[in-house]
Amino acid sequence: MTISFDHTAHDQRVLFGTGKAVANTVVALESLGAKRVLLIADAFATVLSDAVAELSPVVARVHEIVQHVPIENATRTVALAREQGADAVITIGGGSSIGLAKIVARDAGLPIVAVPTTFAGSEATNVWGVTEAGRKTTGIDDKVLPKVIVYDASLMASLPGRLAVSSGLNAVAHAVDGFWSPRTDPINRAMGTEGLRALFPGLRALHADPEDIGAREQTLYGAYLAAVAFASAGSGMHHKICHALGGTYNMPHAETHSVVIGYVTAFNAPYASEAAERLAAAIGDGRTAAAGIYALRQGVEAPMSLKELGFKEDHISEAAGIILPAIPPSNPRPVTRANLEALLRAAWAGDLIE
């Protein structure tokens, strides 16, 4: 067998340490030489934000965070960064908080220090997303890749259980979709596989005991690797579906991923034997990839249908029309309007996958 690929590794510092968020954020800002910092932080993280602001040269704070980054919030925050002459951004929160910081980085050219509080993985990607007039646009720009990530598993302690497992399944989806995304290669598949090996036991242990700090660290480590794999491999069919459902129908991000990944896996696995084998091996319960993901989602009490998340059956046909042109040609199984609608209908109903 010959090996041939074109892989780009991204330049990023990763500081990983439970209980070290404040100290490591200060280290990160010093390494950037930041003098005037814009702090973008989710409102739930007030205590951490105050502690960081006390020890850092913060000149302005933004706490209005909205999922899928509405263009109005982004424009306002970019203007604030410029008015204040900010030279760096700290972002504390999940993918929504990091997503807002990314638009500031893209438009005002500021470096980001990211302190994630979910397993969404945006901190490890050069992908930005913004929503305008009901459509989510995503793009790639190396300026938005945070310069430093500060990982602290204690910050996920306050995540409600269902959101924690959904967010972990968002990370699973990054790795799995990376197996058939447009730029999939042996390096990002290896990272995705190692990510899954950490994520599956991490999620099971986290569900069994939400206080288990080792399980949270393992899930966070897996989420980072999965996000690196996703950033390298690009958005596949799964992400294109979720972006349309999030941007156009305002579906909750992590929960939507945690449903859809089961159905995209069932759809593609018979046409992607190597990916299916890797996935089944990482799940390790003797089931096929698709049945294993279904059982895992059920076992950790993740959302099981788009219906329960509020998606309307009447929207299936319209959604398929939006998604179809975005599906990458790299997808292993040919996608038609009919089989895409069938996939969305199964995900809407939460059909059993065996």
Ligand X SMILES: NC(=O)c1ccc[n+]([C@@H]2O[C@H](COP(=O)([O-])OP(=O)(O)OC[C@H]3O[C@@H](n4cnc5c(N)ncnc54)[C@H](O)[C@@H]3O)[C@@H](O)[C@H]2O)c1
Ligand Y SMILES: O=C(O)CCC(=O)CC(=O)O
What does the binding site for ligand Y look like in residue numbers (CB under 6 A)?
Answer: 99, 122, 127-129, 138, 170, 239, 242
Nearer residue to ligand Y within complex by CB, 138 or 330: 138
Which residue type occupies 308? Answer: E
How far apart are alpha carbons 50 and 68 in whole angstroms? Answer: 25
d(CA 207, CA 61): 34
Instruction: Give the residue with the Cβ less far from ligand Y, 67 or 305.
Output: 67
Q: Closest Cα partner for 152 from 20, 50, 43, 53? A: 20
* Residue nearest ligand Y, CB atom distance: 129
Q: Which does 239 bind (CB under 5 to 8 A by kind): ligand X, ligand Y, none?
A: ligand Y
Q: Which range in 152-160, 175-183, 264-272, 298-306 contacts ligand X by CB under 6 A?
A: 152-160
77 binds ligand X (CB under 6 A): no
- Output 103 or 276, the one with its CB closest to ligand X: 103
What is the rounded CA–CA span in Å between residue 297 and residue 265? 13
Among 15, 24, 68, 323, binds ligand X (CB under 6 A): 68
- Is the Cβ of residue 100 or residue 291 nearer to ligand Y in the bound state? 100
- Between 128 and 221, whose beta carbon lies closer to ligand Y? 128
Answer for which of 77, 93, 180, 296 binds ligand X (CB under 6 A) is 93
Q: What is the per-residue DSSP string for 209-258?
A: -TT-HHHHHHHHHHHHHHHHHHHHH---HHHHHHHHHHHHH---HHHHHH
C-alpha 81/C-alpha 74 separation (Å) is 11
CA-based radius of gyration for the chain:
19
Instruction: Report, in Å, the least distance between residue 118 CB and ligand X.
Output: 3
Q: Which option in ligand X, ligand Y, none does residue 189 bind, with CB closer than 5 to 8 A by kind?
A: none
CB of 128 to ligand Y, least distance (A): 6
Binding residue (CB under 6 A) for ligand X from 78, 86, 148, 155: 155
Single residue of 25, 49, 73, 118 touching ligand X by CB under 6 A = 118
Residue 152: what are its φ and ψ, rounded to 5°? -145, 105
Piece of 26-34, 95-103, 105-113, 305-313 that binds ligand X (CB under 6 A)? 95-103
Q: Out of 145, 163, 215, 343, name the contact with ligand X by CB under 6 A.
A: 163
Q: Of 158, 273, 317, 339, which one interacts with ligand X (CB under 6 A)? A: 158
Nearer to ligand X, 253 or 278 (CB): 253
CA-nearest of 298, 312, 331, 306 to 255 is 306
d(CA 116, CA 126): 15
Residue 249 binding: pick among ligand Y, ligand X, none (C-beta 5-8 Å cut-off by kind):
none
Q: Which is nearer to ligand Y, 233 or 335 (CB)?
A: 233
Rounded Cα distance, 38 and 109, in Å: 13
Which listed residue (25, 117, 288, 331) binds ligand X by CB under 6 A?
117
Question: Are 313 and 231 within 8 A, CB to CB?
Answer: no
Question: Between 44 and 345, whose beta carbon lies closer to ligand X?
Answer: 44
How far apart CA 97 and CA 129 sit, in angstroms, is 12
Distance CA 221, CA 151 (A): 9
CB–CB of 248/256 below 8 Å? Answer: no
Amino acid identity of 263?
Y
- Residues binding ligand X (CB under 6 A): 42, 44, 67-68, 93-97, 99, 117-118, 120-122, 125, 127, 129, 155-156, 158-159, 163, 167, 170, 246, 253-254
